[in-house]
Structure 1
Amino acid sequence: MFFRILSIIFPVFAIIAAGWLYARLRRRAGGGIDMAFANQLNMDVFVPALVFAALASKSFDLASYGRLAVAALMLMLASGGIAWSLARLLREQPKTFVPPMMFVNSGNMGLPLMVLAFGDAALPAAVVLFFVENLLHYTLGTWMLDHHARLWTLWRVPVIFAALLALAIKFLDLPLWLPLFTAIKLVGDVAIPLLLFSLGVRLALSRWSDVRLGLIGMVARPVIGMAFAALMAYWLQLDERAAAMLMVFGALPPAVLNYVFAERYQQEPAKVASLVMIGNLGALIFIPLALAMTLP
């Protein structure tokens, strides 16, 4: 079991470590580090292509993932409720602490981890989890930080647009030219390694500004997530693989996007950066634990 888990998590953390090492060496050599264009390209082109290819594939059946989507949604909302109470207990601003406890790294870490752990056939389910998490993050997450945000423009987010387009094609049963689908899938294949590498670069540039809050979040995020994952899987009677994927989803660390949002809305970005950084380091403990609990 140990070597099986190691074989799953090693490629994920090895690519993250490569990004971290690259950034550290560039800084030591006095060179600049600009991942902005690569990250923008990933979020505007590669990840949307990955999402579209997964949801538009012939093997994807939307109805079979409905309960998994509901479970993920309820898990995040429940995690947010517990985190709000914990933030009040810690005398921290809920708008600082709650989003990182709700919105997890379902893209950078979740997508490759799910595929490595459960096989290529798990990619559509992993994309469903990613889509639900992103949809809630861009709606409720944005509203939490800015009550005046214009959510009607959500469809302009490339990932959301790609998902809606793929779902429309499936719903209307429109034919998709196979060479075009193959081209889109090839473009999407770039996304996963680039997501992991850019996460490593981001962690290398983060600061340890609030270790206490980061350590609390490092434990609270996966413990709350896994507890509610088990509850939702039992309540909604998910099948074995869906329940296992939900457990891994619940164990994921805070999404890097939390820091981006905190910086944009000036919501204590230094504290959020620590929650994200230390939480992702804590994944070295909690991801293997979740896999040990779920792998047969």
Structure 2
Amino acid sequence: MVERVLGIILPVFSVIVLGYFYARRVKPDMAWVNRINMDVLAPALIFTALANKDFDLAANDVLILGAIGVVAGSGLLAWPFARLLHEDPRTFVPPMMFNNCGNMGLPLAALAFGQAGLSAMVALFTVSNLLHFTVGVHIVNRHAAFWPIFRNPMVIATFVGFAFAILHPPMPDWLMLAIKLTGDAMIPLMLISLGARMATVTWGGWNLGVIGALVCPLTGIAMAALLSPMLRLDPMQSSLLILFGCLPPAVLNFMVAEQYNQEPAKVASIVLIGNIASIVFVPLGLGIALH
């Protein structure tokens, strides 16, 4: 079991470390890389995963419902922690709700469960992103406009991908392969981007970061463990939901906090320390999932 867990997590963390040291040495401008990831590669991966013949929307609808429950439940559990710590819930709660299911969850699911696991995790990734761009942004800024989400390429790819999953319209094999090749580039590039981003954030407010690093995976695992039997998930779906729950805060939380000036330094600390702590919590969650 230990060898299997290490065989899954070591490739992922190795690429993250590569991105970290590359950014420390070269100090590249990652803005255009992140833009390509968000506007081109991620939509391609989302579409191919959802439109893939291996993805059964009807078989994964309860799993998607479970992911929504993990996100919402983690937020409800995190809210009293924010009050207890005398921190603004708009700063502390979103990073506890929205985890790194893109950068870290996708490669872990692919290595642990193959193409079927990757397709299911992509569905959870898209749902989490939809919630982040709507509910998450509204928590941070109640006056944020809702309609721009429908111009987001990942959101468009999500709706088109779900339409293909339901209707199964014909598509030339060469076109699907071209889109798949584009999407396959996202996972390694996102891992490198995650490492590079961790090289630029600061340790300010490290005490809040440590608390967040504990609260995020523990509430996620607790909600996943609670919901799995309630929703009667099969063993693979339960494993994926546990893996989803144990992931650290998403880097996107920092970007949203920075955009709306919601204590971005504190959010950066939560994200940085949370992703460092994932060295402990991801193997723990993966061990529970595989067991």
TM-score (ref. length: structure 1): 0.96
Q: Which of 72, 86, 92 in structure 1 is aligned with 2:81? A: 86
Q: 1:189-268, aligned counterparts within 5 Å?
A: 189-268=184-263
Question: How far is the alpha carbon of 1:169 from its aligned partner?
Answer: 2.5
Structure 1 counterpart of 2:43: 48
Distance, in Å, in 2 between the alignment partners of 1:87 and 1:230 is 23
**After superposition, where does 1:264-279 map in structure 2 within 5 Å?**
264-279=259-274
Greater mean alpha carbon deviation, residues 55-64 or residues 192-201: 55-64
Letter in 1 for 2:173: L
In the alignment, the residues of structure 1 paired with residue 167 and residue 240 of structure 2 have an alpha-carbon distance, to the nearest angstrom, of 29
Pairing 1:12–2:12 present: yes
- 1:146 paired residue number: 141
SS of equivalent residue, structure 1 residue 205: coil
Q: In structure 2, what is the Cα distance between the partners aligned to 1:219 and 1:198?
A: 23
The CA deviation at 1:148 is 1.9
Match in the other structure for 2:98? 103
Cα separation, 1, equivalents of 2:55 and 2:23? 38
Alpha-carbon distance in structure 2 between the residues aligned to 1:18 and 1:129: 27
Task: Report how far residue 59 of structure 1 moved.
Answer: 1.8
Q: Find the residue that maps to 1:92 and give its secondary structure.
A: coil
Q: Output the CA distance in 1 between the equivalents of 2:206 and 2:148.
A: 36
Q: Quote the residue 2:179 is aligned against.
A: 184
In the alignment, the residues of structure 1 paired with residue 134 and residue 280 of structure 2 have an alpha-carbon distance, to the nearest angstrom, of: 30
How many percent identity over aligned positions?
A: 51
User: What does residue range 156-195 of structure 1 map to in structure 2 within 5 Å?
Assistant: 156-195=151-190
Tell me by how many angstroms 1:156 deviates. Answer: 1.0
Q: Give distance in 1, aligned partners of 2:250 and 2:259.
A: 15
Structure 1, unaligned runs of 5 or more: 27-31
Q: Secondary structure at the match of 1:252?
A: coil
When normalised by structure 2's length, the TM-score is: 0.98
Letter in 2 for 1:177: P
CA RMSD of aligned residues (A): 0.9
For residue 133 of structure 1, what is the aligned residue in structure 2? 128
Deviation readout 1:124-161 (Å, 9 max, x if unpaired):
10111101110100000111122222212322111110
Residues 205 and 269 of structure 2 are in contact (CA less than 8 Å); yes or no, is this contact kept in structure 1? yes
Instruction: Show structure 1 runs of 4+ deviating over 3 A.
Output: none
Aligned residues: 291
Please state if 1:286 is matched with 2:289: no
CA–CA separation in structure 1 for the residues paired with 2:223 and 2:164: 33
> What are the Cα deviations for residues 142-183 of structure 1, in whole angstroms up to 9, with x where unaligned?
111222222123221111101101222333331111110000
Quick one: which amino acid aligns to residue 25 of structure 2? L
Q: Distance in 1 between matches of 2:114 and 2:162?
A: 23
Q: 1:170 to 1:117 in 2, by over 3 A?
A: closer
Please say if residues 50 and 164 of structure 2, whose CA atoms lie closer than 8 Å, have aligned partners that are also in contact: no
1:155 maps to what in 2?
150
> Structure 2: which 5+ residue stretches go unaligned?
none
For residues 55 and 241 of structure 2, the distance between their equivalents in structure 1, rounded to whole angstroms, comes to 18
Are the aligned partners of 2:103 and 2:191 in contact in 1 as well (CA < 8 Å)? Answer: yes
